[in-house]
Amino acid sequence: MKNNKNKNEEISLRINLGTRPVFGHGKAKLLDAISIEGSISAAARYIGMSYRRAWLLTDAMNKDFLYPLIESSLGGKGGGGAKLTDEGKKVLKLFRTMEKKAKESLIKEKIMFSKLIN
């Protein structure tokens, strides 16, 4: 009997600069979580990512784009925090729009492709 567990997996979009991945589903998910949680550490917990990985991704995003996507403040008595900059909101919105268009345009092909998977 065939194993069809992969047939329900979503199509994901990744933006590369040459061969280097610049932005994809994971970074978008992290930006969403930062927007919801208000800090990098809380966002990491929210999506099940290590704080170190989340910090490295936020640092990479801030360096990869012309303007920072995440603005953070240091911890202390009142605690630190993080939020998306206007540029971060713009990048996330544009990525989600591209992702939606890509998924919608590939529905038929995805069904045909999934029938070929063991």
Section 101-114 average pLDDT? 89
Share of the chain above pLDDT 70, in %: 88
Q: Is the pLDDT of residue 1 over 50?
A: no
Predicted TM-score (pTM) of the model is 0.82
Instruction: Spell 4-23 as b/e; 16+ CB within 10 A means b.
Output: eeeeeeeeebeeeeeeeeeb
| Residue spans of alpha helices (H) in 3-78 | 25-37, 40-47, 51-64
Domains of the chain: 17-114 (1.10.10.10)
Return d(Cα 59, Cα 69) in angstroms, integer. 9
Kindly state the average pLDDT of the residues 15-31. Answer: 92
What pLDDT was estimated at residue 7?
46
Task: Give one word for 104, left, alpha or beta, with left for phi > 0 and alpha for psi -120 to 50.
Answer: alpha
